[in-house]
Amino acid sequence: MAEIIDGKKCAAGIRAEVARRVEALSSKGVTPGLAAVLIGDDPASRYYVRSKEKACGEVGIYSEVIRRDAGTSQSELLQLVDDLNANPKIDGILVQSPLPEGLDETEVTLRIDPGKDVDGFHPYNIGALSLGLPALAPCTPAGIIEMLIFAKVDTQGKEVVVVGRSNIVGRPVAGLLSLKGPRGNATVTLCHSRTKNIESVCRRADILIAAIGRPEFITAEFVKPGAAVIDVGVNRVEDSSRKSGYRLTGDVDFDAVEKVAGYISPVPGGVGPMTIAMLLSNTVTIAEHRASK
């Protein structure tokens, strides 16, 4: 049976470290600040923003949530970003996605000051990261790297297969793991919906990362015995036995894969808590930079 990689426990360690860094900053008179912009009333987005706000409060990060209705125009949203770019109390800016139809997410990302781009989505940070230069790493990929370190899964010379090539998870985590250095040095294959013989490609992996958005896509047949399997997916599937009528499941068939893999991260309680922990860590990194000026 696979060892479970407990994302909550790993995230608790990161948050404790973040709290210590916040304290050290406070002795220099600096309080890290995070602003979240929430447009519209998508229930999942509201939930994510509330969780981020609560997490900030727990470690002593100042947080502001700017809520606007779905009728907000592109120019109003850009003005909001400009104001936050200029606000000295705000270190990190995040604009919760998805934005309501009609708003251009790319233009908004480009408008965020790269130095305050706490999600690490700005092309400046993506470019710097891919060159191995200091940059704000996107939170989910950075969290996956921390989970591998926490579980003592070495990446040096390992075969890594990432399924999913999104700009926020698949592509950056593949980039980070292929960088030269102690947290990388892996041989990385990036799969997507056009990949041929995906099952046999995945079975080569010492470390398999699933970021697809398809419930239980990765079955035991995809997994080499002893491999480390990181499940990024968060999917709602109908479940009449639950009061809510649904349950959350990952991209990995946990019950079957747990019997084959050496390590596995659960959903929920795996990558999700790490994403928020890394958001806090990125906010403090920006504030530390401000304090050092």
**Residues with a known catalytic role:** 52, 96, 119
Query: Does the protein bind ligand NAP through residue 141 (CB under 6 A)?
Result: no
Residue number with CB closer to ligand NAP (25 or 211): 211
Query: Does the protein bind ligand NAP through residue 215 (CB under 6 A)?
Result: no
Residue number with CB closer to ligand NAP (121 or 263): 121
Q: Pairing relation of β-strands 263-264 and 3-4?
A: parallel
CA end-to-end distance (rounded Å), the chain? 50
Query: Does the protein bind ligand NAP through residue 45 (CB under 6 A)?
Result: no
C-alpha closest to that of 288 among 280, 111, 217, 123: 280
Query: Does the protein bind ligand NAP through residue 160 (CB under 6 A)?
Result: no
Q: Among all residues, whose Cβ is closest to ligand NAP?
A: 166
Query: Does the protein bind ligand NAP through residue 174 (CB under 6 A)?
Result: no
Residue number with CB closer to ligand NAP (98 or 226): 98
Query: Does the protein bind ligand NAP through residue 234 (CB under 6 A)?
Result: yes
Q: How far apart are CA 225 and CA 258, in angstroms?
A: 10
Phi, psi of 58 (to 5 degrees): -70, -25
- What lies within 8 Å, CB to CB, of 98 at 6+ separation is 42, 45, 105
How many residues touch ligand NAP under the rule CB under 6 A: the total is 25
Q: How far apart are CA 7 and CA 277, in angstroms?
A: 10
Q: How far apart are CA 258 and CA 245, in angstroms?
A: 26
Query: Does the protein bind ligand NAP through residue 173 (CB under 6 A)?
Result: no
Query: Does the protein bind ligand NAP through residue 208 (CB under 6 A)?
Result: no
Name the site residues for ligand NAP (rule: CB under 6 A): 140, 163-166, 168-170, 191-195, 198, 211-214, 232-235, 271-272, 275
